[in-house]
């Protein structure tokens, strides 16, 4: 558990306290004691104080400092320094210094102001109350909460004694007391004070006032900390809207609201939105305060938390260290705010497995917190929790139990029996005692954990206080029950494992409804092991009961583990066009997507150019993106509300069943083979029109090694690579296809999983070759089977049954941008958007064989062909929607780090803004009506391999854009061999063959024509067909 938003309440307090007007007693004192010659200076000083207060409220701190300094000088000259008006100037300057993070100076100024006010105006004057209240805020900064309460209560007593009560001043003191109780984690007491302040202000100020917004935000903070996240978001959003209507977009109070929303998004696991909120807060704070300010440090800290959760420890560490450096300069090394930075750095070291360093930082933070905050505090609890996690990873279960038990006791003191922090502590205690061989205690802790999350067997998932943590606990319970059955094979334990996995599945599917890509990537890693134990449970039940229900459910589980994001994206894209949404709104939606894509590419360009995520230029781009994303989200919400068909089409995400595959998708002589690759078990699902089998195979320890060996050697068209390739190809066949070889049909649809996505199955070998140097004689799988691929069976259904948005009028658009070009260094392209500095020297060679390729296709089918300089990205963008087939014979590049930035290269233009590179991200905005896209280019089937999603590649992006099938490549293929394969492929299609048969025949013909090393699979095996394989 990372400490987050420790500084947050300090800023809420600072902005919530009203600035008093000059009292009547002060005015009388001025009138009585002012000399006529000084009257003008006094009047001007008062005007300067009023101006400075307005500047302070608007966030113009430089202007406020100048106004206060000028007023102070005039007052000193005309009235002297022992005067109420001079005390007012000191007080306001102290308030300014608090905003600027200069707390020692602020304390000095406030104490001087208080001393003058006490001497001249007496202990019961309202101005004394204002001074005491601000000194209460400073006491919180200093970590002296008892002193803070004493000062706030003294201020409240003075305000209540006034003949005419100042309700705004009283409300601000309520806010201060709420802040103290929030810092000491007494959230019910804090919320009660915030509600009192809110109820006091609304009758006199109305709902739409900046001071009311403070209390709305603070009530949201309490809801947040108590785990009521939906309510917290509602309060935070209400406060944000009020602040933006008053201050505009670039104000510290708006940044506070962004900070609040970012914090709750972290708590709910929506890191993409959290990142946007915190980056916007940071941009505002840097523009207002400069770099060295505690609010800027707070933003750095929050962004570090997000990067750490996303697995980017390097960026996280840099941000935490920046935050620590700023805060140490302001607060010194032993302030309790420093402890949270120590904790966060400890988390980084824990995640990179430097456990001794992590413990060192956690211990340092804990000692500071205990000295400053006492034992019963949420930050202290988090430190115990973090230490428990490290000791668990070190298998020091006794210390781990002790630390998590301490964390649990603190959480119960703070929150009672139900809260996410209680649930996660109980879950960890369950895992510890399970490791210690105490399963009965583990069950007790697990059940208590679910109660703490407010999970009820017959309740709704909307009632739980943390869905993602509930999903995690249900998954742990399911795995625990399955392992208990492994140790004690009892039927009742097996059935309980089934029930537990079904509970987990229901919660996991609910969580996935609004899950972001970033969060899904994290949970796919976690859920993979639960999917595996769920499949193992079903397989055992099938074997023991002979009920096919469990076998069919196993296939559904496998499908739910694959390519959900692509499925959701394709459904949403179709929903837009088939839900009767007016064209004007569709255009608005499209324009917003295009604008966001452009800005995202600009942001990526800056990052690849060496700027950091927190660079002001990058933050400015992110701010624009953030604004557009909010507008886009509001438009989507309108679609869901006003167009019922859109909502239905978007959220109908039913997976395809085995029966549906057999009835609707498979043709005679065709079989579907789907893989699920777990840590210890490989499941092979074989679906034929009249048959269905589930085969369980133990994972070969060398599977990953064989896959990598094949990948490295099949790409090298040299004799020396053949021996290693052929051995790996045979070994992989033995693992993946041999167990089902006798049941296979002639036509196979392969749905790979995990690292199996890297494999060209038709290049596997059914037996080891007698002569490894004659690859044309190898017993390739291709000789026996026609093979196509899909991302999942569900997506295969979507691609086969896809309705195009319009019927294309033209047949084939073929483009060969490098047909008549010499080699071009990408460094010669326009540099504005050339991002990856490592690739700037990359050579895009001329591809003369693509001229023959396009000429030949024109002789087979009606084709509009564009060569060389005519084959631009713009021409493709303008024309592509109107063709049944798109054939792109060009360079392609997979980016395994960021799949969205894999690209296809079009004809380079000297004035191009994006180097004529068509990125995956661009394709998300291109609606196609193509039955087939042929990517006769390098490695367009490769990209970023994501657990649960497969290969995020250029080919996959074309599926999203609307293509029903793709012919693509797994590695860079020689343009001459590609030309031969493609010409033969189209000739075979012309003969009425299906796409997979046409490609198989083309490859077989290639082997006949090219004996010896020229038949190396590097030249032909990388070409595959994905999706609907019906003939053209």
Q: Mind listing the pLDDT tens digit for each residue in 583-595?
A: 788 788 878 877 8
The residue with tokens 């609004």 is 514
The residue that leads in pLDDT, 610 or 700, is 700
Q: Where are the alpha helices (DSSP H) in 208-354?
A: 210-225, 229-247, 252-268, 271-289, 294-309, 313-331, 336-351
**Sorting pLDDT into bands at 50, 70 and 90, what band is 949?**
very low
Q: What distances in angstroms separate CA 316 from CA 91, 279, 516, 611, one per listed residue?
A: 39, 14, 20, 16
pLDDT at 652: 66
Question: Does residue 875 carry a pLDDT above 50?
Answer: yes
User: Max CA-CA distance within the chain?
Assistant: 115
Q: Residue 604: helix, strand or coil by DSSP?
A: helix
**Sorting pLDDT into bands at 50, 70 and 90, what band is 823?**
very low
Report the percent of the chain where pLDDT is more than 70: 86
Listed in sequence order, the residues at least 6 apart from 255 whose beta carbon sits closer than 8 Å to its beta carbon are 280, 281, 284, 285, 288, 295, 299
Q: What average pLDDT does the structure give for the chain?
A: 85
Q: Which segment of 158-167, 582-591, 757-766 scores lowest on mean pLDDT?
A: 582-591
**Sorting pLDDT into bands at 50, 70 and 90, what band is 784?**
very high
Question: Does residue 67 carry a pLDDT above 70?
Answer: yes
Q: What is the mean pLDDT of residues 526-537?
A: 90
**Sorting pLDDT into bands at 50, 70 and 90, what band is 416?**
confident
**Sorting pLDDT into bands at 50, 70 and 90, what band is 38?**
low
Q: What is the mean pLDDT of residues 497-519?
A: 79
636-668: b (≥16 Cβ within 10 Å) or e:
beebbeebeebeebbeeeebbbbeebbeebbee
976 token code pair: 């001459």
Domain positions in the chain are: 583-627, 658-789, 795-1027
* Cβ atoms of residues 95 and 20 within 8 Å: no
The sign one gets for the Cα dihedral 535, 537, 542, 548 is negative
pLDDT at 62: 84
pLDDT at 19: 53
- For the segment 640-651, what is each residue's pLDDT rounded down to a tens digit? 788 776 666 666
The residue with tokens 């630390």 is 403
* Cβ atoms of residues 975 and 891 within 8 Å: no
Question: Does residue 948 carry a pLDDT above 80?
Answer: no
Distance CA 615, CA 612 (A): 5
Listed in sequence order, the residues at least 6 apart from 298 whose beta carbon sits closer than 8 Å to its beta carbon are 5, 6, 7, 8, 11, 259, 285, 323
Closest CA to 747 of 427, 555, 989, 1025: 1025
Closest CA to 376 of 408, 354, 344: 408
277 token code pair: 């909120």
Q: What is the mean pLDDT of residues 516-545?
A: 81
What strands, in cross-sheet order, belong to the sheet with 892-893? Answer: 892-893, 903-905, 917-919
Q: What is the mean pLDDT of residues 689-709?
A: 94
529 token code pair: 């092991």
Q: What is the mean pLDDT of residues 975-983?
A: 89
Listed in sequence order, the residues at least 6 apart from 879 whose beta carbon sits closer than 8 Å to its beta carbon are 813, 864
The residue with tokens 């624009």 is 624
Listed in sequence order, the residues at least 6 apart from 749 whose beta carbon sits closer than 8 Å to its beta carbon are 670, 671, 672, 673, 787, 788, 789, 790, 796, 1029
Q: What distances in angstroms separate CA 705 from CA 649, 702, 727, 738, 781, one per listed residue?
A: 42, 5, 12, 19, 20
Question: Does residue 654 carry a pLDDT above 90?
Answer: no
At residue 957, what are phi and psi to the nearest 5 degrees? -65, -35
C-alpha atoms less than 13 angstroms from C-alpha of 424 in its C-beta half-sphere: 23
pTM, two decimals, is 0.76
At residue 1012, what are phi and psi to the nearest 5 degrees? 70, -150
pLDDT at 896: 46
41 token code pair: 């200076």
C-alpha atoms less than 13 angstroms from C-alpha of 417 in its C-beta half-sphere: 6
Q: What is the DSSP string of 441-454?
A: HHHHHHHHHHHHTT
Question: Does residue 102 carry a pLDDT above 90?
Answer: no
CB atoms within 10 A of CB 898: 18
Question: Does residue 325 carry a pLDDT above 80?
Answer: yes
Listed in sequence order, the residues at least 6 apart from 287 whose beta carbon sits closer than 8 Å to its beta carbon are 250, 616
851 token code pair: 């001229």
The residue that leads in pLDDT, 624 or 939, is 624
pLDDT at 577: 62
What interhelical angle do 793-800 and 564-577 show, nearest 10? Answer: 20
Question: Does residue 798 carry a pLDDT above 70?
Answer: yes
CA R_g for the chain = 34
Task: Give the H/E segment covering residue 598.
Answer: helix 583-608
**Sorting pLDDT into bands at 50, 70 and 90, what band is 883?**
very high
pLDDT at 906: 87
Question: Does residue 391 carry a pLDDT above 50?
Answer: yes
Beta strands in 31-159, from DSSP E residues, in sequence order? none
Q: Strands 843-844 and 965-969: what pairing?
A: unpaired
Question: Does residue 866 carry a pLDDT above 50?
Answer: yes
Q: Would you call 822 exposed, middle or buried from its count of C-beta atoms within 10 A (0-12, 13-18, 19+)?
A: exposed
CATH number of 795-1027: 3.40.50.1460
> What does DSSP assign to residue 964?
S
756 token code pair: 């199996």
Q: Residue 479: helix, strand or coil by DSSP?
A: helix
Helices (H) and strands (E) in the chain, counts: 40, 18
pLDDT at 624: 83
Question: Does residue 898 carry a pLDDT above 60?
Answer: no
pLDDT at 116: 94
CA angle, 866 then 973 then 1021, to 5°? 120
Distance CA 359, CA 346 (A): 7
Question: Does residue 571 carry a pLDDT above 80?
Answer: no
At residue 749, what are phi and psi to the nearest 5 degrees? -105, 115
**Sorting pLDDT into bands at 50, 70 and 90, what band is 569?**
low
The residue that leads in pLDDT, 647 or 547, is 547
Closest CA to 874 of 934, 922, 941, 829: 922
What interhelical angle do 616-642 and 583-608 show, nearest 10? Answer: 160
Question: Does residue 25 carry a pLDDT above 90?
Answer: no
Question: Does residue 829 carry a pLDDT above 50?
Answer: no
CATH number of 658-789: 3.30.420
pLDDT at 833: 37
């Amino acid at each position: 558990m990372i400490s987050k938003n420790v500084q947050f309440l300090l800023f809420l307090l600072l902005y919530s306290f009203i600035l008093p007007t000059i009292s009547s007693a002060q005015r009388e004192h001025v009138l009585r004691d002012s000399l006529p010659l000084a009257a003008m200076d006094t009047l001007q000083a008062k005007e300067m104080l009023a101006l400075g207060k307005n500047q302070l409220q608007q966030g113009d701190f430089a202007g406020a400092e100048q106004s206060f300094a000028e007023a102070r000088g005039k007052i000193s000259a005309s009235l002297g320094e022992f005067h109420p008006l001079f005390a007012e100037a000191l007080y306001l300057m102290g308030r300014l210094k608090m905003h600027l993070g200069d707390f020692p100076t602020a304390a000095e100024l406030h104490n001087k102001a208080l001393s003058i006010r006490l001497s001249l105006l007496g202990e019961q004057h309202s101005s004394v109350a204002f001074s005491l209240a601000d000194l209460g805020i400073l006491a919180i900064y200093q970590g002296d909460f008892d002193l803070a309460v004493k000062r706030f209560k003294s201020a409240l007593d003075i305000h209540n004694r006034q003949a005419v009560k100042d309700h705004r001043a009283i409300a601000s003191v309520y806010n201060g007391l709420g802040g103290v109780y929030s810092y000491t984690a007494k959230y019910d007491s804090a919320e009660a004070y915030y509600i009192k302040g809110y109820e006091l202000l609304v009758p006199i100020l109305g709902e739409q006032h900046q001071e009311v917004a403070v209390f709305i935000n603070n009530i949201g903070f309490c809801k947040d900390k108590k785990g009521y996240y939906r309510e917290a978001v509602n309060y935070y959003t209400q406060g944000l809207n009020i602040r933006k209507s008053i201050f505009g977009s670039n104000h510290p109070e708006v940044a506070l609201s962004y900070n609040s929303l970012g914090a709750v998004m972290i708590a709910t696991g929506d890191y993409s939105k959290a990142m946007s909120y915190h980056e916007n807060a940071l941009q505002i704070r840097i523009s207002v305060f400069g770099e060295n300010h505690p609010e800027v440090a707070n933003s750095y800290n929050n962004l570090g938390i997000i990067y750490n959760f996303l697995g980017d420890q390097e960026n996280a560490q840099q941000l935490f260290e920046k935050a620590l450096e700023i805060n140490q300069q302001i607060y010194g090394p032993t302030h309790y705010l420093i402890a949270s930075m120590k904790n966060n750095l400890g988390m980084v070291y824990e995640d990179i497995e430097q456990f001794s360093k992590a413990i060192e930082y956690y211990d340092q933070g804990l000692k500071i917190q205990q000295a400053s905050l006492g034992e019963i505090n949420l930050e202290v609890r988090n430190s115990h929790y973090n230490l428990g996690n490290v000791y668990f990873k070190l298998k020091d279960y006794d210390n781990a139990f002790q630390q998590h038990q301490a964390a649990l006791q603190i959480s119960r003191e703070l929150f009672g029996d139900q809260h996410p922090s209680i649930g996660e502590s109980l879950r960890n205690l369950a895992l510890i005692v399970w490791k210690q061989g105490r399963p009965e205690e583990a069950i007790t802790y697990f059940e208590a954990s679910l109660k703490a999350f407010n999970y009820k067997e017959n309740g709704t998932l909307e009632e739980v206080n943390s869905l993602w943590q509930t999903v995690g606990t249900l998954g742990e319970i399911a795995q625990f029950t399955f392992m208990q059955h492994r140790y004690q094979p009892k039927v009742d334990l097996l059935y309980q494992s089934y029930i537990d996995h079904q509970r987990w599945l229901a919660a996991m599917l609910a969580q996935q409804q609004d899950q972001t890509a970033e969060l899904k990537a994290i949970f796919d890693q976690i859920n993979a092991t639960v999917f595996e134990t769920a499949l193992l449970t079903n397989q055992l039940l099938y074997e023991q009961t002979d009920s096919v229900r469990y076998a069919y459910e196993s296939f559904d589980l496998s499908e739910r583990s694959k390519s959900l994001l692509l499925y959701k994206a394709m459904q949403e894209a179709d929903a837009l066009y088939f839900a009767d949404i007016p064209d004007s709104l569709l255009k608005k939606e499209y324009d917003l997507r295009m604008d966001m894509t452009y800005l995202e590419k600009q942001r990526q360009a800056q990052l690849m150019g060496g700027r950091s995520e927190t660079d002001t230029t990058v933050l400015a781009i992110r701010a624009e993106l953030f604004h557009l994303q909010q507008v886009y989200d509001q438009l989507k919400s309108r679609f869901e509300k006003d167009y019922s068909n859109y909502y239905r089409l978007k959220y109908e995400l039913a997976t395809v069943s085995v029966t549906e595959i057999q009835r609707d998708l498979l043709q005679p002589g065709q079989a579907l083979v789907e893989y699920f690759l777990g840590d210890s078990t490989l499941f092979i699902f074989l679906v034929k029109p009249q048959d269905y089998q589930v085969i369980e195979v133990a994972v070969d320890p060398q599977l990953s090694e064989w896959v990598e060996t094949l990948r490295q050697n099949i790409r090298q068209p040299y004799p020396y690579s053949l021996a290693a390739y052929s051995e790996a190809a045979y070994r992989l066949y033995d693992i993946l296809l041999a167990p089902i070889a006798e049941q296979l049909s002639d036509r196979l649809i392969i749905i790979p999983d995990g690292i199996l996505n890297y494999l060209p199955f038709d290049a596997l070998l059914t037996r080891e070759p007698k002569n490894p140097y004659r690859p044309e004689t190898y017993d390739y799988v291709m000789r026996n089977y026609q093979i196509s691929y899909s991302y999942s069976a569900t997506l295969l259904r979507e691609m086969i049954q896809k309705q195009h948005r319009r019927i294309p009028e033209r047949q084939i658009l073929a483009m060969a941008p490098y047909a008549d070009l010499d080699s071009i260094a990408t460094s010669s392209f326009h540099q504005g958007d050339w991002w990856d500095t490592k690739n700037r020297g990359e050579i895009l060679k001329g591809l003369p064989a693509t001229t023959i390729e396009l000429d030949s296709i024109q002789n087979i089918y009606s084709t509009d062909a564009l060569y060389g300089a005519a084959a631009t990205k713009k021409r493709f963008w303008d024309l592509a929607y109107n063709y049944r087939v798109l054939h792109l014979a060009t360079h392609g590049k997979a980016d395994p780090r960021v799949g969205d930035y894999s690209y296809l290269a079009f004809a380079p233009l000297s004035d191009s803004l994006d180097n004529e590179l068509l990125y995956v991200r661009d394709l998300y905005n291109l609606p196609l009506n193509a039955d087939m896209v042929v990517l006769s280019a390098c490695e367009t089937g490769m990209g970023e391999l994501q657990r649960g999603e497969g290969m995020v590649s250029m080919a996959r992006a074309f599926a999203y854009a609307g293509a029903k099938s793709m012919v693509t490549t797994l590695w860079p293929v020689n343009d001459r061999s590609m030309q031969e394969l493609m010409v033969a492929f189209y000739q075979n299609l012309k003969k009425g063959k299906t796409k997979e048969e046409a490609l198989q025949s083309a490859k077989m013909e290639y082997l006949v024509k090219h004996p010896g090393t020229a038949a190396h699979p590097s030249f032909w095996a990388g070409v595959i067909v994905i999706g609907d394989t019906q003939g053209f």
